[in-house]
C-alpha cells in the first residue's frame, strides 16, 4: 500500500511530471505492474482494513482493487470460508487461495461485452450509464490493469450491465408488443405473468445437428408455428430465441401425436392465442384513449414559446415508436421513408396552439416515463391526477372490439350460406 501511495504521489507532481511508463522504467518494473499497484489506493475502507491487518494477502487485494466499491464489499466475503471447530459458537474464518477469488470474479463479476444482447454504443438505453464504449468500468478501458484478460473486453459492473439488459428487453417489447417472452430458469412464474415458463415452449436450436440421429431430435426442427421470442428471465436474458409454443405440435411433441392430432386441442390453442392478441390490442387501445383523455384535461398556462421549447426537448429523448404513437394521437400518419414521423411532428408542433402543445407535453412525459418504469402504474397515476375515468374508457373499447368480432362472424356466416346456396 505504501508503494502504491508513492507511485500516486509521483503521478501528482507538477514538476517534474511522470507517466506510468516513466515510473515503470525508473523502478525496473512493467507498466502493468505499476498500474495494478496504483489501484490499491482505490480499495474501499472495509477491504483496506482487512489488508492492513494481514487478513488477506496482496494477491487478494490486487484483484479486489480492480472492482467497483460495491463489488469489493461482496468480493471480500469470497476470500474466506467459515468453519465451525472446537465447539465454539462463532465460526472461524479460513483464507482461501487467490485462485478461488479469481474464479469468483470470473463467475460473478466479469461479463463479456461481445455477448451483450444490447447495443453497446447506445448511450440512450440507460442515460445515466451512457455508452459502454466510453465507460471506465470495462476491462478494455484500462488494458494495462487487465492485461491478463488479453483482447477480451468485459464489464466489471454487473448492476449496470443488468440495468441495460432490462432496458433492452423493455424497448424490444415496446417496439414489438406481440413479442413472446420466455423464461429459461426452472422456477415457476408468478400467476398472471406474461413470461412463459420452460414447460410452455420448446426451444429450437440454431446450430446444425452433428449427425443423423441428432437431426431427428425435435429441438433441431422447425415447424409452421415457430416464432421468435425474447428471453425475459434466466440464462441468456435479453437475447432472441426461436421457439414453438404450440402444445399439440406434431413436430415438437411427436410422442404426444402418434395418433391423430386432436383438432379440438389445436382449435383451443388457436382460440387462446387469438384471445391473448385481442386482450393486448384492447389494452393498447385503452391506454391510448386514457392518454388522450388525460391530455384533454391539461390546462393552458405557459406561453407558446415555453411549451414549444420543452416539447422539442422531450421529443428528442424519445424513440421512433413512441414518436409515431404521439403523432397518431394527433392525426398525423407519416411513412418512415418519407422523412419519418419525427420530422413531421416537429413541423406540427411549430404550428400548434398552446392547448395542443400542453396536451402533447403531458402525453410525451407519460410515454417517456413508461419506457423506463411500470407503464400501467404510470398511466394510472396520471389518470388519477387528471380525474380520468379509466373504467369507462376500458368498457367502451371492449364494446367496440366485441362489435367488430360480431360483425366479422356475421360476414363469415353470410359467406358460408352464400357458398352453400351456390
**Greater confidence, 291 or 163?**
163
* Domain C-terminal end among 173, 194, 213: 173
pLDDT at 339: 58
Q: How many C-beta atoms surround the C-beta of residue 369 within 10 A? A: 16
Q: Are residues 202 and 218 in the same domain?
A: yes
> Which residue segment(s) compose the domain that 167 sits in?
115-173
Burial bucket for residue 278 (CB in 10 Å: 0-12, 13-18, 19+): middle
Q: Are residues 310 and 347 in the same domain?
A: yes
What does the alpha-carbon distance between residue 383 and residue 348 come to, in Å, rounded to a whole number? 26
Cβ contact 237:117 at 8 Å: yes
pLDDT(378) > 90? no
pLDDT at 299: 66
Domains identified in the chain, total number: 4
Lowest mean pLDDT segment, chosen from 177-191, 298-312, 345-359: 298-312
Q: Are residues 141 and 195 in the same domain?
A: no
pLDDT(131) > 80? yes
Q: Are residues 131 and 233 in the same domain?
A: no
pLDDT at 181: 92
**Greater confidence, 51 or 189?**
51
Which tens digits make up the pLDDT trace of 238-250? 999 999 988 878 7
**Greater confidence, 19 or 384?**
19
* Domain C-terminal end among 90, 114, 138: 114
Quote the strand ranges of 52-114, DSSP E.
80-83, 92-95, 111-112
DSSP string, 310-352: HHHHHHHTS-HHHHHHHHHHTT----GGGTHHHHHHHHHHHH-
pLDDT(322) > 60? yes
pLDDT at 261: 53
How many percent of the chain have pLDDT more than 70?
A: 93
* Domain C-terminal end among 261, 288, 303: 261
pLDDT at 297: 72
Q: How many C-beta atoms surround the C-beta of residue 211 within 10 A? A: 7
Query: Which candidate, 50, 80, 75, 153, places its Cα nearest to that of 110?
Result: 153
Residue 415 lies in a domain: no
Q: Which of 47-56, 78-87, 216-225, 376-385 has the highest mean predicted lDDT (pLDDT)?
A: 47-56
* 376 membership: H or E segment, kind and range: helix 375-385
Residue 369 lies in a domain: yes
**Greater confidence, 9 or 355?**
9
pLDDT(258) > 70? no
Cβ contact 299:358 at 8 Å: yes
Q: Are residues 201 and 143 in the same domain?
A: no
The 3-state DSSP class for residue 93 equals strand
| Helices 58-65, 31-38: inter-axial angle, 10-degree rounding | 80
pLDDT(193) > 80? yes
Residue 410 lies in a domain: no
DSSP string, 136-198: SSBGGG-TTTTGGGTT--EES-HHHHHHHHHHHHHHHHHH-TT-EEEE-SSSPPPTT-SEEPG
What does the alpha-carbon distance between residue 99 and residue 143 come to, in Å, rounded to a whole number? 21
pLDDT at 264: 65
> SS3 string of 1-30?
CHHHHHHHHHHHCCCCCCCHHHHHHHHCCC
- What is the average per-residue pLDDT within 245-261? 69
What does the alpha-carbon distance between residue 175 and residue 319 come to, in Å, rounded to a whole number? 9
Q: Are residues 72 and 139 in the same domain?
A: no
Q: Are residues 64 and 144 in the same domain?
A: no
What does the alpha-carbon distance between residue 379 and residue 374 come to, in Å, rounded to a whole number? 9
- What is the average per-residue pLDDT within 356-374? 80
pLDDT at 300: 62
- What is the average per-residue pLDDT within 120-131? 89
**Average per-residue pLDDT for the chain:** 84
Kindly list the distances between the CA atom of residue 243 and the CA atoms of 115, 220, 233, in Å, as whole numbers in the listed order: 20, 11, 15
Cβ contact 196:182 at 8 Å: yes
**Greater confidence, 182 or 257?**
182
Q: Are residues 296 and 312 in the same domain?
A: yes
Pairing verdict, β 202-203 and 180-183: unpaired
Q: Locate cell 463489488: which residue?
A: 71
Q: Are residues 156 and 216 in the same domain?
A: no
pLDDT at 53: 92
Q: Are residues 250 and 316 in the same domain?
A: no
Question: Model pTM?
Answer: 0.57
Residue 390 lies in a domain: yes
Q: Locate cell 391526477: which residue?
A: 385
Which tens digits make up the pLDDT trace of 77-119? 999 998 876 666 677 889 999 999 999 998 889 988 998 999 9
Q: Are residues 98 and 195 in the same domain?
A: no
Which tens digits make up the pLDDT trace of 30-86? 988 998 899 899 999 999 999 999 999 999 999 999 998 889 999 999 999 988 766
Q: Are residues 159 and 189 in the same domain?
A: no
Tell me how many degrees the CA angle 93-96-100 measures, rounded to the nearest 5.
140
Amino acid at each position: 500500500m505504501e508503494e502504491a501511495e508513492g507511485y500516486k504521489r509521483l503521478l501528482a507532481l507538477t514538476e517534474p511530471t511522470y507517466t506510468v511508463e516513466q515510473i515503470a522504467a525508473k523502478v525496473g518494473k512493467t507498466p502493468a505492474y505499476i498500474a495494478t499497484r496504483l489501484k490499491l489506493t482505490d480499495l474501499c475502507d472495509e477491504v483496506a482494513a482487512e489488508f492492513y491487518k494481514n487478513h488477506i494477502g496482496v494477491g487478494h487485494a490486487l484483484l479486489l482493487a480492480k472492482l467497483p466499491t460495491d463489488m469489493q464489499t461482496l468480493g471480500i466475503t469470497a476470500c474466506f470460508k467459515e468453519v465451525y471447530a472446537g465447539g465454539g459458537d462463532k465460526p472461524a474464518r479460513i483464507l482461501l487461495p487467490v485462485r478461488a477469488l479469481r474464479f469468483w470474479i470470473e463467475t460473478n463479476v466479469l461479463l463479456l461485452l461481445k455477448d451483450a444482447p444490447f447495443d453497446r454504443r447506445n448511450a440512450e438505453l440507460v442515460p445515466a450509464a451512457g455508452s459502454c464504449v466510453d465507460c471506465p468500468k470495462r476491462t478494455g478501458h484500462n488494458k494495462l490493469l487487465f492485461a491478463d484478460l488479453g483482447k477480451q473486453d468485459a464489464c466489471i459492473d454487473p448492476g449496470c450491465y443488468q440495468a441495460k439488459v432490462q432496458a433492452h428487453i423493455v424497448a424490444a417489447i415496446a417496439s414489438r408488443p406481440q413479442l413472446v417472452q420466455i423464461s429459461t430458469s426452472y422456477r415457476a412464474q408468478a400467476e398472471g405473468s406474461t413470461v412463459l415458463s420452460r414447460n410452455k415452449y420448446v426451444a429450437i436450436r440454431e446450430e446444425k445437428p452433428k449427425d443423423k440421429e441428432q437431426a431427428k431430435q425435435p429441438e433441431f426442427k422447425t415447424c409452421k408455428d415457430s416464432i421468435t421470442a425474447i428471453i425475459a428471465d434466466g440464462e441468456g436474458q435479453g437475447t432472441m430465441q426461436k421457439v414453438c409454443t404450440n402444445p399439440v405440435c406434431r413436430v415438437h411433441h411427436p410422442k404426444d401425436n402418434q395418433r391423430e392430432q386432436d383438432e379440438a386441442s389445436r382449435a383451443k390453442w388457436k382460440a387462446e392465442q387469438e384471445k391473448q392478441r385481442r386482450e393486448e390490442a384492447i389494452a393498447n387501445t385503452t391506454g391510448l384513449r386514457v392518454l388522450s383523455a388525460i391530455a384533454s384535461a391539461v390546462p393552458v398556462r405557459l406561453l407558446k414559446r415555453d411549451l414549444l421549447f420543452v416539447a422539442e426537448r422531450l421529443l428528442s429523448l424519445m424513440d421512433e415508436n413512441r414518436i409515431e404513437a404521439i403523432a397518431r394521437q394527433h392525426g398525423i400518419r407519416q411513412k418512415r421513408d418519407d422523412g419519418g414521423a419525427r420530422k413531421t411532428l416537429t413541423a406540427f408542433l411549430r404550428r400548434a396552439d398552446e392547448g395542443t402543445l400542453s396536451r402533447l407535453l403531458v402525453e410525451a412525459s407519460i410515454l417517456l416515463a413508461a419506457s423506463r418504469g411500470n407503464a400501467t402504474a404510470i398511466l394510472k397515476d396520471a389518470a388519477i391526477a387528471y380525474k380520468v375515468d379509466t373504467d369507462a374508457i376500458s368498457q367502451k373499447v371492449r364494446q367496440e372490439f366485441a362489435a367488430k368480432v360480431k360483425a366479422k362472424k356475421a360476414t363469415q356466416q353470410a359467406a358460408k350460406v352464400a357458398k352453400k346456396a351456390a
